[in-house]
């Protein structure tokens, strides 16, 4: 039952991520300067999706259950999804993967 609940949580976060990507326009700042903060302000649903996925990841990591042998793959896939979402959010900053991973 816990495995099903975790998978629902991951699927919900994935749907939220897709809706956020599809529904948010790109907005330039008044000064024309693009920053992490300006990108986050322009795409608040992406930021929320990242936070929710991080919460799900922490919950999975703390869970004593192995979810039918799926825990390791779910953790790995969630980390990849978080990175991909950050990469999409900050693409105009032309950050490399290491810089993206250092962001909170």
Output the tens digit of pLDDT for each of the chain's 104 residues.
566 566 656 665 565 555 555 444 444 445 578 999 999 999 999 999 999 999 999 999 999 999 999 999 999 999 999 999 999 999 999 999 999 989 88
The answer as to whether 62 is a domain residue is yes
Of all residues in the chain, what percent carry a pLDDT higher than 90?
A: 62
Q: Which two tokens stand for residue 15?
A: 């749907």
Range of the domain at 95: 2-21+33-102
Q: Cα separation of 42 and 46, whole Å? A: 9
The answer as to whether 27 is a domain residue is no
- Tell me which DSSP letter residue 7 carries: H
What does the pLDDT read at residue 75? 97
The answer as to whether 13 is a domain residue is yes
Per the structure, the count of domains in the chain is 1
The answer as to whether 68 is a domain residue is yes
The answer as to whether 71 is a domain residue is yes
What does the pLDDT read at residue 7? 60
The answer as to whether 82 is a domain residue is yes
Q: Cα separation of 78 and 47, whole Å? A: 15
Q: Which two tokens stand for residue 95?
A: 């950050």
pTM of the model: 0.67
Q: Cα separation of 34 and 42, whole Å? A: 10
pLDDT in tens, 52-82: 999 999 999 999 999 999 999 999 999 999 9
């Amino acid at each position: 039952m816990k495995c099903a609940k975790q998978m629902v949580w991951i699927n919900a976060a994935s749907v939220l991520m897709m809706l956020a990507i599809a529904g948010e326009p790109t907005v330039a700042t008044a000064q024309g300067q693009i920053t992490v903060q300006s990108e986050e302000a322009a795409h608040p649903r992406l930021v929320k999706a990242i936070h929710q996925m991080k919460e799900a990841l922490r919950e999975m990591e703390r869970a004593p259950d192995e979810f039918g042998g799926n825990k390791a793959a779910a953790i790995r896939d969630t980390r990849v999804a978080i990175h991909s979402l950050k990469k999409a959010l900050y693409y105009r900053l032309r950050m490399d993967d290491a810089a993206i991973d250092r962001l909170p």
